[in-house]
């Protein structure tokens, strides 16, 4: 693909297809050139050229290396809060490597608890709220020890049993965001409990509708929307079910502009629980393959949501969610300027564009490599910067396999 970029963005490895000037005005003998060093870039700058055209099929792509101002433009010229000195209240108490195996056990256990809750609700045998509450506490404790471990695991998507996996992922995202918002431990548990139960009403929706492989008809969608009311009926009156838990279940499909359901509430009518529920529910849905859309890359989903922020989401909460997740959330497969593919494994909250990554593939050789971790916020960031996202299937990369290797290491 041919694209125009500013000379200030050039990096070694870029292929210039057109210097955007007469052949006498640039410092090279030919009108097309692969940039091999920073000396080449300095020559171009001294020639007074401000923009050039690059060919991304013959060299690396340039997507980022944003300053804060450029980051704002990346998100459509809107004012993200200044992240310098911002305290997310997410101190890492346990290294990722140590927490990952434990988090995997928690994830598996939570999946079973959620599945049992849905089956209990479907067949009327009574939801075990105490069991769910204890499970939520384990999730919150894991997030407290290391907020990236469960986030990394929740990035892996399976095509089967979407409803249960979705409830698990939404619980993890809610717990993390609530911690980042500096809520009390009791509030974090309360909101996370609401998130785990947010779709419990789907237990009353016919299985053939939940598992339908085609888009729903208007009539079927109206029935699907009733899962909210069914959920409220299933949990109300039970001990420990608070107003915030009820609000999360009742309002996670409401939208800021009043186009949501079931009550078409507008901004100031939606509770904080409902606003948080809307953000994390949509994010997980966008990043999962469904019959009506292909999964978006995590960073694409975040950008898409940010563009729609004024219509659908509480802007301040969405900005906090972005600060918590990072521009390239854990589990993202990214391309580096050095010619490697890497998995984002930890977010650097003081530098959203330079996370900790795990190198796994050499693009120049077209071969996988022995995995190793790099912190892009440190000195190596000059050599290895993220220049784009990558589709695992194009390189025959199984992210699940790499994740299992990390868990079992």
- The pLDDT, as a whole number, for residue 379 is 65
Is 23 in the same domain as 139? no
161: left (phi over 0), alpha (psi -120 to 50) or beta: left
166 φ, ψ (degrees, to nearest 5):
-60, -45
Q: Say how many residues make up the chain.
A: 409
Rounded to an integer, the average pLDDT of 349-366 is: 87
The DSSP output letter for 18 is: E
Which of 290, 309, 325 is the last residue before a domain boundary?
A: 325
3-class SS of residue 155:
coil
Rounded to an integer, the average pLDDT of 195-220 is: 92
The answer to whether residue 223 is domain-embedded is: yes
- Residue 350's pLDDT band (cuts 50, 70, 90): low
Say whether pLDDT at 304 is over 90. no
CATH code of the domain covering residue 272:
1.10.3210.10
What is the distance in angstroms between the CA of the first residue and the CA of the last residue of the chain?
Answer: 39
- The pLDDT, as a whole number, for residue 80 is 45
Q: How many domains would you assign to the chain?
A: 2
Question: How far, in whole angstroms, is CA 228 from its chain's centroid?
Answer: 25
Is 156 in the same domain as 290? yes
Read out DSSP for 202-230? GGGS-HHHHT-SSPPPHHHHHHHHTHHHH
The answer to whether residue 179 is domain-embedded is: yes
Is 38 in the same domain as 127? no
Output the six-digit token pair for 370.
Answer: 């022995």
Q: How many CB atoms lie within 10 A of CB 68?
A: 12
Rg value, the chain, Cα:
23
The answer to whether residue 332 is domain-embedded is: no
Is 38 in the same domain as 148? no
| CA-to-CA dists, residue 85 to 89, 137, 197, 351, angstroms | 12, 29, 35, 11
Is 133 in the same domain as 224? yes
Residue 225 domain boundaries: 96-325
Which of 62, 87, 109 is the last residue before a domain boundary?
A: 62
Is 16 in the same domain as 164? no
For every residue of 77-90, which 3-state class applies, written as one string? CCCCCCCCCCCCCC
The answer to whether residue 209 is domain-embedded is: yes
The answer to whether residue 283 is domain-embedded is: yes
Is 25 in the same domain as 131? no
Is 36 in the same domain as 136? no
Q: How many CB atoms lie within 10 A of CB 73?
A: 11
pLDDT in tens, 233-276: 999 989 889 999 999 999 999 999 999 999 999 999 999 999 99
The answer to whether residue 67 is domain-embedded is: no
| Mean pLDDT rounded to a whole number for the chain | 87
**Cα(111)–Cα(168) distance, rounded to whole angstroms?**
6
Contact 287, 280 (CB under 8 A): no
- Residue 112's pLDDT band (cuts 50, 70, 90): very high
Is 277 in the same domain as 195? yes
The answer to whether residue 386 is domain-embedded is: no
The answer to whether residue 44 is domain-embedded is: yes
Q: How many CB atoms lie within 10 A of CB 211?
A: 12
- Residue, of 281 and 215, whose pLDDT is higher: 281
Is 45 in the same domain as 183? no
| CA-to-CA dists, residue 70 to 66, 353, 375, angstroms | 5, 11, 22
Rounded to an integer, the average pLDDT of 343-360 is: 87
Output the six-digit token pair for 104.
Answer: 């995997």
- The pLDDT, as a whole number, for residue 22 is 75
Which of 16, 41, 62 is the last residue before a domain boundary?
A: 62
Is 168 in the same domain as 112? yes
Say whether pLDDT at 290 is over 60. yes
- The pLDDT, as a whole number, for residue 90 is 59
**Cα(320)–Cα(253) distance, rounded to whole angstroms?**
20
**Cα(333)–Cα(53) distance, rounded to whole angstroms?**
26
- Residue, of 173 and 18, whose pLDDT is higher: 173
Is 110 in the same domain as 14? no
| CA-to-CA dists, residue 107 to 62, 114, 161, 277, angstroms | 36, 10, 14, 20
Tell if the pTM clears 0.85, that is, is over it.
Answer: no
């Amino acid at each position: 693909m041919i694209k125009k970029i500013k000379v200030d963005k050039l990096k070694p490895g870029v292929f210039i297809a057109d210097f955007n000037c007469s052949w006498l005005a640039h410092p090279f003998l030919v009108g097309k050139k692969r940039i091999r060093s920073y000396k080449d870039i300095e020559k171009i700058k001294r020639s007074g050229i401000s923009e050039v055209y690059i060919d991304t099929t013959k060299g690396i792509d340039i997507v980022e290396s944003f300053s804060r101002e450029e980051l704002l433009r990346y998100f459509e010229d809107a004012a993200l809060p200044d992240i310098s000195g911002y305290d997310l209240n997410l101190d890492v108490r346990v290294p990722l490597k140590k927490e990952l195996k434990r988090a995997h056990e928690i994830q598996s256990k939570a999946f079973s608890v959620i599945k049992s809750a849905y089956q209990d609700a479907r067949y009327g045998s009574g939801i075990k709220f105490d069991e769910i509450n204890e499970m939520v506490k384990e999730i919150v404790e894991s997030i407290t020890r290391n907020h990236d471990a469960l986030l990394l695991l929740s990035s892996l998507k399976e095509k089967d049993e979407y409803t249960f996996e979705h409830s698990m992922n939404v619980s993890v995202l809610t717990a993390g965001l609530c911690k980042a918002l500096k809520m009390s431990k009791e509030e974090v548990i309360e909101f996370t409990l609401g998130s785990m139960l947010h779709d419990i009403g789907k237990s009353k929706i016919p299985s053939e509708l939940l598992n339908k492989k085609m888009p729903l008809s208007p009539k079927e969608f109206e029935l699907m929307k009733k899962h909210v009311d069914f959920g409220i009926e299933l949990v109300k009156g039970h001990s420990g079910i608070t107003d915030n838990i009820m609000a999360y279940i009742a309002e996670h499909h409401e939208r800021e502009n009043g186009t949501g359901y079931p009550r078409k509430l507008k901004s100031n009518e939606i509770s904080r629980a409902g606003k948080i529920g809307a953000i994390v529910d949509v994010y997980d849905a966008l990043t999962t393959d469904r019959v009506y859309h292909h999964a978006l890359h995590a960073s694409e989903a975040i950008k898409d949501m940010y563009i729609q922020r004024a219509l659908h989401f509480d802007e301040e909460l969405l900005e906090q969610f972005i600060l918590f997740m990072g521009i390239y959330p854990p589990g993202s497969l990214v391309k580096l300027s050095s010619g490697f593919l890497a998995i984002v494994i930890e977010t650097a909250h003081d530098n959203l564009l330079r996370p900790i990554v795990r190198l796994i593939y050499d693009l120049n050789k077209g071969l996988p490599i022995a995995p190793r971790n790099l912190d892009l916020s440190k000195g190596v960031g000059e050599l290895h910067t993220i220049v784009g996202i990558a589709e695992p299937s194009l390189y025959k990369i199984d992210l699940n396999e790499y994740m299992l290797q990390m868990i079992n290491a």
